[in-house]
Amino acid sequence: MLRARALRDINEQKHCCEVCGMTHNPDLLYFAIFEDETDCLGTMEFRFTKEGARLTDVKPKIGTYDDEAMFILGKATLNFIDLIGPKYVEYTAEDTKLRGLLEFFPKNDVWQVNLENYFTEPCKRHHAADTDKK
């Protein structure tokens, strides 16, 4: 069973970064997706900013790419950010496939999404996407 969750323990953060080929940064926050609670399939790093949040990197486990797992990881991370409060999220990670699946769009040379209605009223997402930073 797949389960995405925040990584609070620094050793767990370092482990997931290592199996995904990422450099761990103790100043960033991490989410990961696991199969059977032990096998890290992907890791996403992000930070909160003055404007909202920024997804800075996302990588699958080295040598794999599970579309479903990565999509769940992205949605779980966005849901966490939404529950904390920010509605404006930038995407600076290199995974363009996931960026598209999560419905980020370019505006002023920045890939972004507005989480207003993102989870509660998905048909209104693109209307909210036309608004400026909140």
Task: Work out the average pLDDT over 105-119.
Answer: 92
Per-residue pLDDT tens digits for 24-52: 999 999 999 999 888 999 999 999 999 99
pLDDT band at 126 (very low <50, low <70, confident <90, very high): low
Contacts of 26 (CB under 8 A, 6+ apart): 10, 13
Question: Which domains does the chain show, CATH number per domain?
Answer: 2-129 (3.40.630.30)
Q: For residue 34, how many other CB atoms are within 10 A of its CB?
A: 18
Name 63's Cβ contacts closer than 8 Å, sequence gap at least 6. Answer: none
